[in-house]
Amino acid sequence: MMFEFLEVISPGCGATWQDAGRPGRKRFGVPPGGWMDAEAAGEANRLAGNAEEMVVVELALQGARFRARREGWLAVAGASMGPAPGVVRKMARGEELAFTRHEAGVYAYLAVPGGWSAPVILGSASVSERSGLGRALARGDILSCRHDPARPGRCPPEDAPSAAFYPRNIAVRVWRGPQWAEFSHAARAAFFATRWAVSSQLDRMGVRLTGAVIPTSPATMPSEPVLAGSVQITGGGQPVVTMRDGPTVGGYPKIAWLDDEACRRVAQVPPGGSLEFLPPDE
């Protein structure tokens, strides 16, 4: 039995089902996918009394609005878009919840006690539209639960201020990328000396940065496997950080690579924020 809980009034800048994704399928051209901020998604599930790996609703930036079709508990974590993150709230039937005021971060997460009911493709509910795996939530969609959302989960719901902090300007340490040695000393020095601006061209596939022009040699190359976290330098000399739904192959040289924790932090920097790369530990 399923319980209809939330109606989507507006998906805002993006609302999708997400879980841990589809690791191990890159050889078939399937990106790993999954939540952009595993820590925040896990917090939402913990607040709801769920196992951390259960599916959540991932919201991007701002604009999402929902209406409760029945009374129930809803956990909110991650970015601040109006409703306080790190809180479990009791929704009354007919009550609306609007994420219309962006304050910090990029991705927020919604969880319910007992978990959402979401379609599963290739072992995961994670939506990766550009790979043809599921679709984003749209106006009029109904989000259903596996259990009555009015009944608390394994842990009694209570407000718990989020410990998450999403600064607009961050620094992350990198690992050497596959083409590290092909970049000149001057190019690598410029890469680390620049505080890169996060452009408005960001999504689940990648984050484009603007700043200095990094010369590459060669500017392009035969396509080869690309991992999430790869920092590619485009033909125009600007970095692109490959994210969870990014391509599994590509032809731009990769000067650096970011681990999962660094990618999680980069994902939560909004347009207009900045990013500094720290050299790898020798």
Closest listed residue to residue 49, CA positions, set 144, 145, 113: 113
Do 164 and 78 form a contact (C-beta atoms < 8 A)? yes
Radius of gyration of the chain (CA): 20
Q: H-helix or E-strand containing 18?
A: strand 15-18
Range list of β-strands (E), 243-282: 249-250, 254-257, 274-278
Do 85 and 79 form a contact (C-beta atoms < 8 A)? yes
pTM (2 d.p.) = 0.93
pLDDT tens digits for 98-112?
A: 999 889 999 999 999
Tell me what pLDDT residue 156 has: 46
User: Looking at domain 169-278, does it have CATH number 2.40.100.10?
Assistant: yes
pLDDT tens digits for 1-13?
A: 789 999 999 999 9
> Whole-angstrom Cα distance, residue 200 to residue 79?
17
Tell me what pLDDT residue 106 has: 97
User: Hey, is 182 helix, strand or coil?
Assistant: helix
Sheet holding 254-257, edge to edge: 169-173, 274-278, 195-202, 206-210, 239-242, 230-233, 254-257, 175-176
> Whole-angstrom Cα distance, residue 102 to residue 27?
37
> Whole-angstrom Cα distance, residue 94 to residue 205?
35
Tell me what pLDDT residue 134 has: 94
Per-residue pLDDT of the chain (282 residues; tens, 9 = 90+): 789 999 999 999 999 999 999 988 877 888 999 999 999 999 999 999 999 999 999 999 999 999 999 999 999 999 999 988 888 889 999 999 999 988 999 999 999 999 999 999 999 999 998 889 999 999 999 999 988 888 765 554 454 555 567 999 999 999 999 999 999 999 999 999 999 999 999 999 999 999 999 987 666 678 888 999 999 999 899 999 999 999 988 889 999 999 999 999 999 999 999 999 999 975
Would you kindly state where each structural domain of the chain is located, as residue ranges? 3-145, 169-278
Tell me what pLDDT residue 38 has: 96
